[in-house]
Structure 1
């Protein structure tokens, strides 16, 4: 059975990652795996100083530095273990029954790639532990993860609120239609009102495509679907719609050539993830 995988670290977004992954785990009834990765690029397990050896006194100093590196890695691993235990307690208090923890010492993106075959949804914070609270930036690994992994990824800002209304960004492309079918059938958003938003010119064709999408959602048990066709820049149009209607989650397909999916390549992706006040679920089909 595929897991919900939550990336846990010492950042101010960790609590939101716990809350978001707990919500997902309960909604889709899948086990939750809490993952902590001690990145080798930051915490080397062993410092290789063989190429720097010289005089005896210098050798002794380098040996001490190597010992300090080893101690630093050991302490960081222990800190990560404690973070995982706190995360476990938090999600269990929210009613998650199947919880496991996993700690790895390796490269962060490679570790996620190794696990993605058994991952249904990956949950990450918008920022990592290297970012200060209140700074609107995204973590250095996030964009690489989005481009590298093929699984669904939920990116949460520092404050997570259990979704009550969902925005589905839709462009009627084959990928968007597949995303529509998957999210409509998934228990993740079962019973939640949907807003279907298309960014493009107002035409009879686009209005018809939106109506067909609405009928698809309602046929799969979603009532009260709202449709909207708006012109403008994709990023700002999405954010304005979310704010105007007080929506709690953005769902959209990743990659492609249409206006909505094209934003995921380049700076617009970064801007949307950085500016959004609500979680974004990226789905690649």
Structure 2
């Protein structure tokens, strides 16, 4: 199955909202929906953790017991995952998705998604995984790695589901940024959404021209569009605009070598995603 919306779920707080956004995206894009659960069978034990004072027989027995325990944990994880996938499938059907699929794989989430990359049109993931606890400032390490490794659009979700009515795009005028605006203008995901564009920088004729171009493309696509040029730090400026305008979803892209690109490849990315109270769509 190609060109599908894929939703990565686990036992985290965000799995239900992942289901809802994935169902919305599947219906809007008219694309098949697949729920994915990955069982990480990496052994929990290591010989280096065992004391050298154990006699050989006792040490071998302990290793066998620990191995059996790992195997039992893996079986429980697979069963839990199967139940979560069934629940996600049922929730999506209630949301109107016809025949959502479910898949369970062994391995790591990042390696699995990279392997399936050619099948993915949009990946939907939660802000944090099940091992991250409920600390609101924590961003799952899996998500950070997925952002860096996967070359597909990624929708990071948080909070509760809300159909996006106001969308904000961070824009820097580069060639790839322009492609992002064109995609936003024609994407079925945002068919009825009002689109905002923000350039972070000084008020110059060049920036004004870039902003006018972006707003023109969005209006041609049938969107209500408005924007601003604002000086300041990228993260703080975008967050402030988001709050002021009650933005429902932020769109960002991997743009050239500008400051906005550092949001994807440096610590600012993590900070932006960690602090975001709304979903973030990362265009690759």
Q: TM-score, normalised by structure 1?
A: 0.92
Mapped contact 2:6–2:124 kept (Cα < 8 A): yes
Paired with 1:48 and 1:36, the residues of 2 have a C-alpha distance of 29
Partner of 1:169: 170
Partner of 2:238: 238
Tell me the CA shift for residue 42 of structure 1.
Answer: 6.0
Pairwise mapping of residues 120-135 of structure 1 onto structure 2 (< 5 A)? 120-135=121-136
Tell me the CA shift for residue 213 of structure 1.
Answer: 1.2
CA-to-aligned-CA distance 1:98-128 (integer Å, 9 cap, x gap): 3000000112211000111010000111100
Paired with 2:256 and 2:161, the residues of 1 have a C-alpha distance of 28
Paired with 2:183 and 2:55, the residues of 1 have a C-alpha distance of 62
Tell me the CA shift for residue 134 of structure 1.
Answer: 4.3
Pairwise mapping of residues 206-285 of structure 1 onto structure 2 (< 5 A)? 206-222=207-223, 224-284=224-284
Pairwise mapping of residues 91-240 of structure 1 onto structure 2 (< 5 A)? 91-222=92-223, 224-240=224-240
Tell me the CA shift for residue 164 of structure 1.
Answer: 0.9
**Structure 1 residues 57, 41: closer, same or farther in 2, change over 3 A?**
closer
Q: Which of 134-143 and 163-172 deviates more? A: 134-143
Tell me the CA shift for residue 200 of structure 1.
Answer: 0.9
Structure 2 segments unaligned to the other structure (5+ residues) = none
Q: Secondary structure at the match of 1:263?
A: helix
Q: Secondary structure at the match of 1:33?
A: strand
Tell me the CA shift for residue 257 of structure 1.
Answer: 1.0
Tell me the CA shift for residue 259 of structure 1.
Answer: 2.1
Paired with 1:279 and 1:136, the residues of 2 have a C-alpha distance of 15
Paired with 2:60 and 2:225, the residues of 1 have a C-alpha distance of 70
Paired with 1:55 and 1:196, the residues of 2 have a C-alpha distance of 67
Paired with 1:59 and 1:265, the residues of 2 have a C-alpha distance of 45
Q: Which of 62-71 and 274-283 deviates more? A: 62-71
Tell me the CA shift for residue 255 of structure 1.
Answer: 4.6
Mapped contact 2:128–2:139 kept (Cα < 8 A): yes
Paired with 1:263 and 1:70, the residues of 2 have a C-alpha distance of 40
**Structure 1 residues 274, 69: closer, same or farther in 2, change over 3 A?**
same
Paired with 2:99 and 2:180, the residues of 1 have a C-alpha distance of 27
**Structure 1 residues 20, 58: closer, same or farther in 2, change over 3 A?**
same
Mapped contact 1:43–1:73 kept (Cα < 8 A): no
Tell me the CA shift for residue 262 of structure 1.
Answer: 2.5
Structure 1 segments unaligned to the other structure (5+ residues) = none
Tell me the CA shift for residue 221 of structure 1.
Answer: 2.1
Q: Secondary structure at the match of 1:98?
A: coil
Q: C-alpha root-mean-square deviation of aligned residues, in Å?
A: 2.1
Tell me the CA shift for residue 65 of structure 1.
Answer: 2.2
Q: Secondary structure at the match of 1:90?
A: helix
**Structure 1 residues 78, 208: closer, same or farther in 2, change over 3 A?**
same
CA-to-aligned-CA distance 1:191-247 (integer Å, 9 cap, x gap): 11101111111012211111111111111222x211211110000111111110001
Paired with 1:67 and 1:193, the residues of 2 have a C-alpha distance of 56
Q: TM-score, normalised by structure 2?
A: 0.93
Tell me the CA shift for residue 54 of structure 1.
Answer: 6.8
